[in-house]
Amino acid sequence: MMENSVKPARSASSFSWSNIASWVLALLVGALVGSVTTVIHQSSISVLGIDIPWGLVASLGTVAAYLLGLRLVRGERVSVIFGALGVLISVYIFSQRSTGGSVLVPNNLAGSIWAIAPTLIATIIVAWPKLPERQAK
């Protein structure tokens, strides 16, 4: 007798070694993105006496682009969650006062935005519903 064995379809978030490796890589790259953007988020340029916070804008854009890119390329939420964890852990660590007393995220408007906005960006990108694929005509 011949058995009809049907393998179940594997979801994008199944536990294969390639998925686990991509989640670890997303976490590490997220930590790198969070570290670099935390350092530059306070940068600004003065044009005609008006300070333009280019560092904050570039940092938020970089975080959004990284997490959105993960969501679009991987097509699942788990990678975005790991990438966001890397970013948020870096922001948290670099927000603490160092042993020498210096702080990379000071208590000013840009620092307050930087402390909150990456979490909001990650939440929106993770929670965004998956749109149905269009049928070819």
Q: With respect to residue 6, please indicate whether it lies within any of the assigned structural domains.
A: no
The answer as to whether 134 is a domain residue is no
Range of the domain at 55: 18-41+51-97+104-127
Q: Report pLDDT for 4.
A: 57
Q: What are the φ/ψ torsions at residue 46 (nearest 5 degrees)?
A: -100, 120
pLDDT in tens, 96-125: 888 887 788 888 898 899 999 999 999 999
What is the length of the chain? 137
Give, in order, the Cα–Cα distances in Å from 75 to each of 11, 69, 78, 102. 11, 10, 9, 40
Structurally, how many domains does the chain consist of? 1
Question: Is 28 within the bounds of a domain?
Answer: yes
